[in-house]
Structure 1
Amino acid sequence: MIFERLSQVGKDTGINFKFGGKTGNTRDSHRLIQLGKSKSPAIQTRVVEELFAAYFENEGDITSHEILQKAGVKAGLDEKEVKEWLGSDKGGKAVDEEVEAAQLNQVSGVPNFTIQGKYEIGGAQDPGVFLRLFEKIKATEEGAKA
């Protein structure tokens, strides 16, 4: 059921989901996202998009440093820096802290969005779910100002 829903949602937005990508320990993928984050929010977003494309559209193994290096470079990161980063444990502490915080907050799946540090949206949701939350936040903030 979930694969059919994702396939349809993806098709409607130009994403050709395939579900044969290898899963495993994605700590290095998350460390690569940390490298992107250290550059700018835009680069971080591009890294995430490239990782998603590698896994969900190209059935890539996002535990492979080769795939991660390609994704990082496509996202705009320097090839040498990506290779050095992945060959070290840079970003590992931040990833571990985020995992611990997620576990403490009982986050058990991805995607998971935390809005303003207190609202949680888990799973692949329709845009309307976000819109309703944003409208609720706006109404709450406007009510507090009155």
Structure 2
Amino acid sequence: MSTTADLPTLTSLEELTRLVTSRRGLYVRWSRGPERDLPDVTSTDDLTGVKLPGLSASPLDVEAWWRDRPVRIWVARRLYDYCHLPRVKDRRTRPWVLHGSEAARGPDNEPLVTDVEPLGWIADRVIDEARHVVTDQPGRWGPLDRNGTT
């Protein structure tokens, strides 16, 4: 297993977009990192405390219905959806990219991933880039923040 110190950091939205276009089965996980997540490879449902059979993560694979739209916008939206987590859960929560296999679905219909291979941290500036890409789109959209603040 890679340690937190061994993981490279993706420093641009373009770099992450290239990774997403070159490999399938990628996810972004918001947590304190692989060293903390991988001994058990489980998540816990915050509402009920139930242990889940895999790491809760967001898929980065581009869906076929997206067709030839910019992958950069797809990736930006996938990051932006959960950018509120460090604020509402734990300030040490950071996004990281992993390769894995979907084992089940969690209570919010999120993939629960096993066979995890950590690939890299996502730098804060990438989240900032994603925020700008999403907010520059013509439609209205906000992160999936249940508290209603960004």
TM range (shorter): under 0.3
* Bigger share in strand: 2
TM-score by length of 1: 0.27
The TM-score with structure 2 as length reference comes to 0.27
* Larger RCO, structure (CA 8 Å, separation 6 or more): 2
Q: Between Structure 1 and Structure 2, which shows a larger proportion of helix residues?
A: 1
